[in-house]
Amino acid sequence: MNSIAQARIERKINWAGIAVMVGLVANLCAGSWFASSLSSRVNSLEVASIKRDGDHELLVRMDERTRVMAAEIGEIKKRLSAR
pLDDT at 55: 75
pLDDT at 66: 95
pLDDT at 1: 52
Task: List the chain domain ranges.
Answer: 1-52, 53-83
pLDDT at 21: 96
Name the phi and psi angles at 12, rounded to 5: -65, 140
CA distance 53 to 37: 25
Question: pLDDT by residue for the chain (83 residues), tens digit each?
Answer: 566 666 556 667 888 999 999 999 999 999 999 988 888 888 888 888 777 777 778 888 899 999 999 999 999 999 998 87
Alpha-helix runs per DSSP H in the chain: 2-10, 15-51, 54-82
| Residues, the chain | 83
* pTM for this predicted structure: 0.43
